[in-house]
Structure 1
């Protein structure tokens, strides 16, 4: 199949003016009694001039074929005259938005998820779009769905179950979008279509596991918070012991240090306020 060939046909205003002249001459011939000449001129005008007039709107094109052979594509907007026997097919060059439906698929570790994408695309090669595929809009819809499914199967939803994952669907939005855009461009290049942008518009666990995975996420968040609290508490206890030792405020043996560390950790790591007990005796009573 030929690749796109852009052509610039002659202006349609000159052809339209010629049509008016031919029709005027035909009318004069009919008026003075030269019916055959007038009729022939009128028929020639309507057969060879009028059908060749085409209007191309901004961001549109006309794909021309003559007796089954691709002639070229008119991309420049305006009023033109082309071969009247050509078949003219309008192809929009505007950007299209595809709001994909929600798909239920499994991620790379087998969890059922719901995913959808928004894709912005436009035609860059009108000849390929018209002749390489049966219906380029349907082709975009089907290939986009296949690309989104393949993307979902390639990465985990998050790294709760796969901590070695460097890219996740939830955490690596930018990288995932770039990978989706790249795959779509490879799939749609055959149809002369360029993907301008591709973004995940919906991402969630499937309803049957959503509650369980929410509990897992909450548990993970609690563990992470506790880990941070413990690390901070240990640092504060270490600082307190060092300060007491440097200032010679009190000398503590190992047993009392252990008791103090235990008390401080309980105070700092507890999720409830504590009620201190004041010891009015010695350290050992």
Structure 2
């Protein structure tokens, strides 16, 4: 892929759904080592496996990718064994590998060896990544604000424990506690250091977080969706009062495309699309929920945020 400064106004948008199916999907097995074989491809099994093939598949489970997060010209992947792999552009230190001056891009995934086994990953789309370790601590890596071709190698964030999920924007990040509470913190745009986490009031029993633009969306255990805005001034984090979005069915998973457009999956596997009003103080819908492909039963839906490439 060529990168061009003339690619102005290119918009990327897609909807990815994981449907209920008897077929199995797994990443191709690779040889031991820190660099994945570039010839590795996604393998799909649609027929009964022999005992030998089944044993081989079981052995390969650790190398299967269970989550992939994509940003501007780079990607981050999490394997079932908890290892993290990055590939793509590295001009801004996006990948988190130490020697950024010599490596401007990686065509094949490279493992970040200094990370502990992780349960989940997140990216702001512009080079900064977070991950949740299996002990509930939060780790960061990637681009440093204000620096070109310098990277923040993986390091743990202080003051965070018992976290199960994270989401991040360019200046702010949020963590979901195992008890359903939510934490928020800023990232200094000069030093790149993260500030002390604060508790987000008005949210409880949360099971999923999503962020887009300056909006945070939260799904609670009852299936209700909440939203709040976030901004900063004079190095202080300011959060609006969370409001519940009215008129939605009970949902089990959500995905936001941008600040106002969203998708969700209900308990029966039906996918819904809706739009909210711009005001952060109201939970009213701008466009009522519409069922998408009602004949499908879906486990989850992922809508990549609309990103502008310059």
Asked which structure has the greater CA Rg, the reply is: 1
Larger strand fraction of residues: 2
- With the length of structure 1 as denominator, give the TM-score of the two structures: 0.23
TM-score after normalising by structure 2: 0.22
Q: Where is the helix percentage greater, Structure 1 or Structure 2?
A: 1
